[in-house]
Chains A and B, each alone.
Chain A
Amino acid sequence: MHLVYPAVLAVLLFSTGLYGVLARRNAILVLMSVELMLNAVNLNLVAFDVWLNRTARETLHSGQALTLFTIAIAAAEIGIGLAIVLAVHRNRGTSDIDRLRDTAEGHESDAPEAEKAEATA
């Protein structure tokens, strides 16, 4: 198989995930896009592991071992990320990341009003 096929597919999936991370507003959709980017990296790792296993006689199988580690770390990441999103949703009543700008500069004036509005709502 041509190595370009899995490499280009991984690039396209990574760019799709990049668009999702930048364009989505719901925090859980952003987490889904992060999963897409991680999967693109996994596809690259597997493809290059199979390639190097045959051509360079690489018997360490580093690509597949690292893919398994990435999958496990992604599972941990999604668990912690969802716990954080649920905590934010419980405290603020929203999971819209465009409205979570308490630490942004230039928004000191409207931050307390927004919190008051959310508290009364």
Chain B
Amino acid sequence: MSPAAALATTAAAAPHGFLSPTGVEIAFLLVGLVTFGAALVTVTTRQLVHAALWLVVTLGGLAVEYLLLTAEFIAWMQVLIYVGSVVVLLLFGLMLTKAPIGRSPDADSANRWAALGVAVAAAAALVWVVVDAFRTTWIDLGGAPSGSTKVTGASLFQNWVLPFEALSVLLLAALVGAIVLSRKAKADAAAATTGTPAVPGSRSEKEGVR
């Protein structure tokens, strides 16, 4: 950041007080508490399906946070992609791996306390560094929203066209990879279960039954 920008930052930060929360800050704090609580329940609950459903609360809370930060397009993309498809995929995965519906006693590994120590240490160090670095920094949320669909679309298709197209190739590769992964395993399993030279008619019959 240039010195002029740093000066502008301090000038913009001057009228703010340390303990004068605005309405947006209070809303952000409350939604943030809900989001963090839902995230904690997601990683600690012993019912696997409930973990996926609490993940919905976490991701929806994050969408609200994006809206409060005036990033509308990102918020709706979050709702569409994460809440709409990723959680549904996770639920499908839980169902297809025959996850237990009730409480499963072995949801957590034996090294839970070491993991807790690592996570608490990481949180403490990062919170300390972040608070120390951005203690006197304020986001100016007034004026035109900086993340509306028009602004984001213009920036995406003016400055980020090449990564955008590369991303479409990556999505295609992921699609093909997922199909290849599931097809190969199915062919192997069919060959292993029949144990006889696979006749095409019987194999398609088996797949139809499955």
Contacts and interface: CB of A to CB of B under 8 A. Distances in A.
B191 interface: no
B82 A55 contact: no
Contact of A46 (B66, B85, B89, B175): B66
Contact of B119 (A18, A59, A78, A83): A18
B198 interface: no
B115 A4 contact: no
Contact of B28 (A1, A20, A71): A1
Contacts of A91: 185, 188-189
Of A6, A25, A29, A33, which is in contact with the most chain B CB atoms at under 10 Å from its CB? A29
Nearest to A75: B81
Contact of B155 (A26, A50, A59): A59
Interface in A1-34: 1-9, 11-20, 22-26, 28-29, 31-33
Given A8-B131, A16-B39, 16 more contacts: A1-B139, A2-B139, A5-B29, A7-B131, A13-B62, A14-B126, A16-B43, A18-B122, A32-B43, A35-B82, A35-B86, A42-B74, A61-B151, A71-B81, A74-B86, A96-B106
B46 to A, nearest CB: 10
Contacts of A96: 106
B8 to A, nearest CB: 6
Contacts of B155: 59-61, 64-65
B204 to A, nearest CB: 19
B74 A82 contact: no
B97 to A, nearest CB: 5
Interface of B: 1-2, 5, 8-9, 12, 16, 22, 24-25, 28-29, 32, 35-36, 39-40, 42-43, 48, 51-52, 55, 58-59, 62, 65-66, 68-71, 73-74, 77-78, 81-82, 85-86, 89-90, 92-94, 96-99, 104, 106-112, 114-116, 118-120, 122-123, 126-127, 130-131, 134-135, 137-141, 143, 146-147, 151-152, 155-156, 159-160, 163, 167, 170-171, 174-175, 177-178, 181-182, 184-186, 188-189
B69 A64 contact: no
Nearest to B106: A25
A23 B89 contact: no
B147 A75 contact: no
A49 B69 CA distance: 10
B51 A79 contact: no
A11 to B, nearest CB: 4
Contact of A65 (B2, B25, B159): B159
Contacts of A84: 181
